Structure 1
C-alpha cells in the first residue's frame, strides 16, 4: 500500500466527501480522486461508494481504512518520539475544554503527550462562558458546536451522545420510567438553568419538554457525581458513563452533539499547537466507540 495514496484515502473516509477532504489537504478534488483510484487499483477492490450524499466506505474500504489508520498511528508515534528525543517540541500549550471532555476524557490521557515530549508543558483549563483565542486565553479550544467568529482554524472532532442515567439504588427505590412523561414524577438532575454556557447544552428539553431539575449542578462532572450518588435521573455523556455502575434509562431517547477543535490561524505553524491538535484528534479517534456507543 502506497502511504501517500493511503493519506488521501484516509482524508476522504474521515470527511465523508471529496470536497471537504480536498480542502483539508489543500489539494484539488481531481488529484484527490486520482490518488484514491490509484489505491483502489493497487489493492484490487472498490473502497468508496460515491453517492449524492458523499463518499461511503465499502466493506473492503473499512478493512483498508483500519489498516491505514494503524500505519498512520505508528508513523506519527515514531516521528513524535524522534522529535521529542531531539527536544524539538518545547514550551507551554494551553488547552481549553468543556469540563466533561476535559476532566473526564482528556486529562487522564495527557501524560501520553508529555511522555513523548518531555520538554512540553500542558495546561488544561475549563472552558468558561466566553473566551478568546486571539488573546491567548487558550492556544487550542475544544467546544460544543462549531465556532462562527474570529480568524480560526476549525476541525470537527467527534459526534457524541447523551442519554438519561440513574443509579441502581435510585431505580430500586423510585422505579424506572417507561416514557419521557414519566420523568415528571422523578427527581431530576441537570444544569443550573441561568448558567448554561451555550444553547448547545440546553438539551434537557429534547428528552422532556419543561424538564425541571430538583438538583442543579453547573458542570457535567458534578451532575455525573450527583446521579451516581442516587440523587436522581440525569442526562449523562455516554463516554462518561462508560465503565460505571450507572443504568441507562429510556435508552431509545438519545441526544447527539458535536465536539469541535479550534485554534487561532496565527498559530497554525506553531509546532507545539500542531502536535497537541494532532494528539487530541488521535485520542478521540482511538476512543470513537466511547463517544457513540
Structure 2
C-alpha cells in the first residue's frame, strides 16, 4: 500500500469528490482517480462509490478514513511534541466559531495572541453545517452548547444571554409591544429556519411559539444590522447589541440564556498551538465575562 495514496484518499474523503480534491491538491483529476484505483487494488476492497456529482465512501472506505485520521492525529501530535522540544509555539492553528463570537468578539483580540507567539499563524473560520473536528476542518471549535458526540475534549467558556431588540426609529414608527403576544403584529427578524444547525440556536420560539420572521438572516451579525436599520424586532445577543446605542431592549424581562463551549479533538490535546489557542479563548472570555450578560436596566 502506497502511503502517499493514503494521503490523497484523505483529501478525497474530506472533499466528497475527486474533482474538488484534485483542485485542492494541484493534481490532474484523471491522475487522482487512477491513484484511488491503485489504492483500492492494493487494499483489495472498493473504497469509493463514484457518482456524477461526487463520491461516497463504502463501508471499507469509512473504516480506512477513521484509521488514517487516527494515524494523522498521532503524527501531528508527535511532530508538535518534537518541535516543542526545540522552541516555541509555531505553525497554523484554525479556529471555528459562530459569526457573532468569531467576528465581533474574537477577531479584534487575535493580535494580542499573535504578539505573544510571532511564529503562530491563526485562521478564523465560520462553523458551517456538518462542521467536523475529526476531519480537521478546525483545530479548536467554539460551539453553542456542550458537544455530546465524538472524541472531543470540551470546556465551557461562558453563558450568554439574548433578548428582544428594535431600533429607536422602528419603535417611533410602530410602537413598542406591551407583551409577548403582541409580537405577532410586528415585523420580526430571525434565522432562516431550515439552516439552523443546532436546536440551541432556535431562540425565537422561546419568546413566541408562533414566531414568523419577515426577514430571515442566517447570521447573528446580519440580524443585528437589519434590526439597527429598522427592519423590525429581533432576538439579539446582548453582547452584540450593547455596542449599538440605537438599539433598544424590548420586553427586557424576557430573555434566554445559552452557553459557549470550546472543543478540541482528543488527539490534539498535547499540540502546543492548539493548547495555546484554547487557553487564550478562556482568558479573553474571563476578562470580558460581564459583557455576555443582559443589559443594565
TM-score by length of 1: 0.70
Quote the residue 1:248 is aligned against: 249
> 1 CA distance for matches of 2:214 and 2:94?
36
Quote the residue 2:285 is aligned against: 284
Quote the residue 1:214 is aligned against: 214
Shift of 1:279: 0.3
Structure 1 stretches of 4+ moved >6 Å: none
Matches within 5 A, 1:1-293: 88-245=88-245, 246-293=247-294
Larger radius of gyration: 2
> 2 CA distance for matches of 1:152 and 1:218?
27
Q: Secondary structure at the match of 1:212?
A: coil
Quote the residue 2:23 is aligned against: none
The size of the alignment, in residue pairs, is 209
- Superposed CA RMSD: 1.3
The answer as to whether partners of 1:99 and 1:220 remain within 8 angstroms in 2 is: yes
The answer as to whether partners of 1:129 and 1:197 remain within 8 angstroms in 2 is: yes
Shift of 1:243: 2.1
The answer as to whether partners of 1:152 and 1:262 remain within 8 angstroms in 2 is: yes
Q: Secondary structure at the match of 2:138?
A: coil
> 1 CA distance for matches of 2:195 and 2:112?
34
TM-score by length of 2: 0.69
> 1 CA distance for matches of 2:282 and 2:161?
18
Alignment gaps of 5+ in structure 1: 1-85
> 2 CA distance for matches of 1:106 and 1:285?
13
> 2 CA distance for matches of 1:289 and 1:94?
27
Q: Secondary structure at the match of 1:118?
A: coil
> 2 CA distance for matches of 1:224 and 1:243?
11
Q: Secondary structure at the match of 1:92?
A: strand
> 2 CA distance for matches of 1:190 and 1:87?
48
> 1 CA distance for matches of 2:229 and 2:87?
46
> 2 CA distance for matches of 1:243 and 1:125?
23
Post-superposition Cα deviations, 1:255-282, rounded to whole Å, max 9, x if no partner, equal 1001110000111001111110000001
The answer as to whether partners of 1:163 and 1:248 remain within 8 angstroms in 2 is: yes
Shift of 1:127: 0.3
> 1 CA distance for matches of 2:87 and 2:284?
23
Alignment gaps of 5+ in structure 2: 1-85
> 2 CA distance for matches of 1:87 and 1:221?
39
> 2 CA distance for matches of 1:255 and 1:139?
29
> 2 CA distance for matches of 1:101 and 1:255?
17
